[in-house]
Copies of this chain bind each other. A is one copy, B any other.
Amino acid sequence: VIEIGIIGHGFMASAHARAWTIAPQVFDLELTPHVAVLAGRDPHRTAAAASRLRIDQSSSNWREVIADDRVQVIDVCTPVDSHAEIVSAALAAGKHVLCEKPLSLNTAESARLAAAAEIAHSRGVVAMVGYNYRRVPALQVARSLCQDGDIGRIRQIRMRYLQDWLVASEAPWSWRLDAKQAGAGALGDIGSHLIDLAQFLIDDPLESVVASAGTAVHRRPTSSGSELREVTVDDTCSFLAVSVDGARCSFETSRLALGRKNQLQVEIDGERGSLAFDLERLNELQLYTADRPIALRGFRTILVTEPSHPYMSGWWPPGHVLGWHDTFVNQARDFIAAVAAGQSPRPSFEDAHYVQVVIEAVQRSADEGSWQAVRWPDTRVIPIRSNGALGPGTNA
């Protein structure tokens, strides 16, 4: 058994708690996770959440949880602005850390945390960030197809993540709309997933970006309705990018796309094959390959529920589809396996730092209205390529 302390008691804490419970029933794990304690600022709400999630103990002091000798893993499910402090303390205390995404408010924090994780790693401590869509089986298949060369050199990727919960002017204010607590808006919350996924899929960092971001509603009522609060983040952000290897990329995020509930879509165009994926149909992967007579080619819908698909041997027979939450169970498995092996799991804090570096470049671009270099690897500053942005006749 490996004892876990969850910090936070919101929606994400529930998702994690359920995953820790289910994972050992689905997979043969080297260690059996057990959530020992749930921590949150408000004692009453924390206790209520613990009770609902069948966690025996609750605490209103996360430092206590980190100090608890039984607890081996700190699972951080709090708003973004508290990540740095909690994670630092946990690593310093020699605890393994799973931190929800995005890792931090900015690159200063994420750089520091990545460095701390690296040091901690040398002492056998494992740290990972909760970009759970890496654990969608269909996206693991997609990655293999990209990495193994099956679809050839990648020429273009198109990614988008669209939601609609801010369409109405009356949609309530929350911490996610406050730049201080959330860092960024759609870009940070859902755009971070896209940036991480792109890197996961094609393993080719972005080199330069140009962005357009906006906020449609500037003041929103608090949940109680008693006052209006300032919205200080973007509710829509799109950007174009060129990767180091020259792939043309487009990214779109929005909380204003009426009718799109949680629509993360990925399209990758290679020289010999193409892929498409939609999170609202997360068991399906679209694959087009050019290895047939042209008269028989087409995008095929692979139902990613076969025992030979990633993660699926632990789940159900073919055709018995997974849901959104099951990606957290897969994530729990991978985290436990990493702890058991003492190996650093992906996405690492370094991976998450990369995401922050891109986010900052995008924000800079949106602020300044110009192409921006992604300063990665961050030890050196990469100038925009001379053909960065990039008229007809050029070739990036």
Give the one of A218, A259, A269, A393 with max B CB within 10 A: A259
- Of chain B, the residue at the smallest CB distance from A246 is B214
- Of chain B, the residue at the smallest CB distance from A34 is B54
Whether A367 is near chain B, meaning CB under 8 Å from some CB there, is yes
Give chain B nearest CB distance to A330 CB in angstroms.
12
Whether A326 is near chain B, meaning CB under 8 Å from some CB there, is yes
CB atoms of A274 and B299 under 8 A apart: no
Whether A389 is near chain B, meaning CB under 8 Å from some CB there, is yes
Q: Which residues of B contact A240 (CB under 8 A)?
A: 210-212, 238-240
Within the assembled complex, what's the spacing in Å between the Cα atoms of A238 and B210?
A: 11
A interface, CB within 8 angstroms of B? 11, 14-15, 17-18, 21-22, 24-26, 28, 32, 52-54, 141, 155-156, 158, 160, 163, 165, 167, 179, 184-185, 187, 210-216, 218, 231-234, 236-242, 246, 248, 250, 252, 254, 256-263, 269-274, 279-283, 285, 287-288, 290, 293-303, 305-306, 308-309, 315-326, 363, 366-371, 384, 388-396
- Pick the 7 closest A-B CB pairs, nearest first: A262-B319, A261-B319, A323-B323, A300-B300, A369-B389, A259-B288, A367-B391
A-B contacts besides A214-B248, A256-B269, A263-B319, 13 pairs, CB < 8 Å: A11-B316, A187-B392, A213-B392, A258-B271, A258-B272, A258-B273, A260-B274, A280-B319, A281-B281, A288-B300, A298-B301, A320-B325, A363-B392
